[in-house]
Chain A
């Protein structure tokens, strides 16, 4: 395998926390990851989306050196994949895991603090900090064997946050949490970002990603099919109107922006939301009757479903 970046190599782009080129993983006859091209910038919360089996977890394992790529290359925190110095600055919450059931929550965190090489003088205070951050203060002396899945997930999140790592990789961090727990996790992720961490959030909870992430990549069948900021991916804000008795000549409306008919709705995209009352007034002036007005833009879920159904046109649009 050709290393993309060596420890001594200063040519690595300093503003990228993660960079991969054509990363590929084949298990016997199964292609788990086809060719992953990914760029995650330092300091951002990056959403890594895809359906089950798309290769998200395999990608994370490759980034951490838990498994080796069949082809391709990459760097994490400016070091080759799996580099131990880089791993000292990474916090990781695996998707499917159990901590040692016979250890208490505090002991699990102490173990991870020791493995991460955190100075022993700092460990106690740091463990207290993350216990509070993930809402486990007061439960720290309980054995993790008695923890619910949600509490295990909180503990795993705490372990991932130990020592303010430069990069936090969270593989489905909220899959076992209730809505309150999910909201807590959003706060924890924002806090981690504020403390200077880059966060890679691997999730299929699209609403969560849309609310949290600065940029996202959508992966299907082991390839990134769309990547960018929310505006780049979801387009500009728009308005959808349900209108009747509109004359054929719509040139005054076309002045607001490109018009389209979508499932019986008149759509103007892009459109500055401040101009929606003007659009409604223009429709009424033309003699049209307005039954409904729906301001907004395409949701991440719409884009995801469209991509999942393999609509090439959307792919082209995103690429453009």
Chain B
């Protein structure tokens, strides 16, 4: 691979996202969703305070609302990543743009990795800006600041990078729409398998728990999502959960008593690298 060419393609991708107004649409959506979240939380807190609800309870309530918002946002982010990355290579092939570019002294790997890098910057940037704005807005209105907002945002960004890598790999061989649809379905299935696995853990149903773990290894997005929750979960909720028996609480898909284990995080990084490698290999073997 040639770093110079990878940067040329990554720069081209960033320019494409800006020129095709995708970046601006994402930014407008972010601001709009932050305003809506702010308005909702402000109403919640104001009404609760009017009814003299205990401040600790208000903060716990707000923390759970924030986790729900993060969950909705992670889905939107995954969809955006999938539908940005899936056609990134597929449409270049369909329009013939790729022929003139690959006739230049570049490897196909340069194109795939350059595309990946450019899209990762866009998606991770979108996750960081929107995530931090939402957390900041909620903090300013309610006084609730999650324990590790940066950890939560980092996991959110990493989850979207994992999704875009998968979409890019499918898109290096399949038409863009098919690649996007498959990625979104797999992302949803992996989340569902994670929920089932956790319910199994709570009820001691070993075979189902094993299934959840296998899916988490094959597609680690749900495991990464647990990192987002952990970063947002206030310590008092964790303490309360321990008091009530933490394992049962694990059945709740919006609760995480511990961050994803380090080996899992390392595996997730390796998984992204492996899938990117598969994308390069699939595209290198493709007849143009």
Contacts and interface: CB of A to CB of B under 8 A. Distances in A.
Interface of A: 27, 61, 64, 66-68, 84-85, 87-88, 90, 92-94, 96-100, 102-103, 111-112, 114-117, 156, 159
B104 A112 contact: yes
B20 interface: yes
Contact of B103 (A85, A90, A102, A117): A90
B288 A67 contact: yes
Contacts, number: 68
A23 B96 CA distance: 23
A61 B288 contact: yes
Contacts of A92: 99-100, 103
20 contacts: A27-B287, A61-B99, A64-B102, A64-B103, A66-B102, A66-B103, A67-B287, A68-B287, A84-B107, A85-B105, A92-B103, A93-B100, A94-B100, A97-B97, A100-B97, A102-B15, A102-B16, A111-B8, A112-B104, A116-B105
B16 to A, nearest CB: 6
B47 interface: no
Top-4 shortest CB links A-B: A97-B96, A102-B19, A115-B104, A88-B105
Q: Which of B95, B99, B103, B107 has the most CB of A within 10 A?
A: B103
Q: Which of A66, A84, A85 has the most CB of B within 10 A?
A: A66
B103 A97 contact: no
A99 B100 contact: yes
Contacts of B104: 87-88, 112, 115-116
Contacts of A68: 287
Interface of B: 5, 8, 12, 15-16, 19-20, 95-97, 99-107, 287-288
Nearest to B94: A98
B82 to A, nearest CB: 21
Nearest to A94: B99
A112 B12 CA distance: 11
A102 B100 contact: no
A98 B95 contact: yes
B287 A114 contact: no
Contacts of B101: 111-112, 115
Contact of B105 (A84, A94, A98): A84
B105 A97 contact: no
A100 B62 CA distance: 46
Given A87-B103, A100-B16, 7 more contacts: A66-B103, A88-B105, A97-B99, A98-B97, A102-B16, A103-B19, A111-B8
Contacts of B8: 111, 114-115
B106 A115 contact: yes
A153 to B, nearest CB: 12
A90 B104 CA distance: 8
Contacts of B19: 102-103
Q: Which of A27, A94, A116 has the most CB of B within 10 A?
A: A94
B21 to A, nearest CB: 9
B10 to A, nearest CB: 12
A85 B106 CA distance: 10
Contacts of B96: 94, 96-98
Contacts of A66: 99, 102-103, 288
Given A66-B99, A114-B8, A116-B105, A102 B20 contact: yes
Contact of A111 (B12, B103, B288): B12
B167 to A, nearest CB: 20
A160 to B, nearest CB: 8
A7 B102 CA distance: 20
Contact of A97 (B5, B15, B100, B107): B100
A115 B5 contact: yes
A195 B106 CA distance: 25
B110 to A, nearest CB: 9
B105 A159 contact: no
Contacts of B106: 84, 115
Contacts of A27: 287
Contacts of A159: 100
Nearest to A96: B96
A117 B106 CA distance: 10
A242 to B, nearest CB: 50
Nearest to A160: B100
B173 to A, nearest CB: 15
A100 B97 CA distance: 7
A102 B20 CA distance: 7
A96 B95 CA distance: 8
Nearest to B5: A115
Nearest to B101: A115
Contacts of A111: 8, 12, 101
Contacts of A112: 100-101, 104
Nearest to B92: A100
Contacts of A99: 97, 100
A250 to B, nearest CB: 57
Q: Which of B96, B97, B104, B105 has the most CB of A within 10 A?
A: B104
Q: Which of B8, B95, B100, B107 has the most CB of A within 10 A?
A: B100
Given A27-B287, A92-B100, A97-B100, A87 B12 contact: no
A67 B99 CA distance: 10
B287 to A, nearest CB: 5
A257 B128 CA distance: 86
Contacts of A102: 15-16, 19-20
Nearest to A117: B105
Contacts of B107: 84
B71 to A, nearest CB: 34
A257 to B, nearest CB: 48
